Amino acid sequence: MSEHTSHPAQGLNRLTIAQQISLLAGVAVLALVVILALSLVRVQQLGATVEELGHEQVERLQLALRWRSNIAVNATRVLSIAQTDGDDLQGYFKDVMGSTTADTTKVQQRYTELEKAPVGCAFRKNWPPCASRTWKRATRRWP
């Protein structure tokens, strides 16, 4: 009695050439579909991350512009007061300068919140200009 051991390759030998080609094409298509599905999942994850970073960056830029404009407006008011005689202009600007200063404080607080948030910290850590010594020196004053 002789025993036959079957080998997986022997099963492929029993298939016709057309069947073998069809099987290989099927395996290749299946592999491409799996790769495509994994790629789509990764693209969606990256898209969500980019959207989150983008929104925070837009808010940072808007806050920075508002901060700068508040400083410029109050500086112009102070220069106007300094160039005039009397206290009339100072009285005129007193309330609006106070509200502009209060708004600047709110802007600074929100900006600091964004910078201390995990995403802000990760952004500063990985963004090349933030990693430079100039950036670190410029932001050293921040708590």
Confidence at residue 69, expressed as pLDDT on a 0 to 100 scale:
95
Residue owning tokens 């005129």: 92
Work out the average pLDDT over 85-99. 89
DSSP string, 49-68: HHHHHHHHHHHHHHHHHHHH
The CA–CA distances, whole Å, from 13 to 7, 10, 24, 138 equal: 10, 5, 14, 72
Kindly give the interhelix angle for 118-126 and 17-83, rounded to the nearest 10 degrees: 100
Say yes or no to pLDDT of 83 above 50.
yes
pTM exceeding 0.75: no
Nearest C-alpha neighbor of 101 from the set 67, 130, 125? 67
Report how far apart the first and last C-alpha atoms of the chain are (Å, whole number): 87
Mean pLDDT (the chain) is 81
pLDDT one-digit tens code per residue, 106-120: 999 999 888 887 766
pLDDT one-digit tens code per residue, 40-68: 999 998 888 778 777 888 888 999 999 99
* Amino acid of residue 50: V
Q: pLDDT band for 138, please (50, 70, 90 cuts).
A: low
Round to whole Å and give the CA distance between 101 and 121. 27
Round to whole Å and give the CA distance between 117 and 38. 30
Residue owning tokens 């700068």: 68
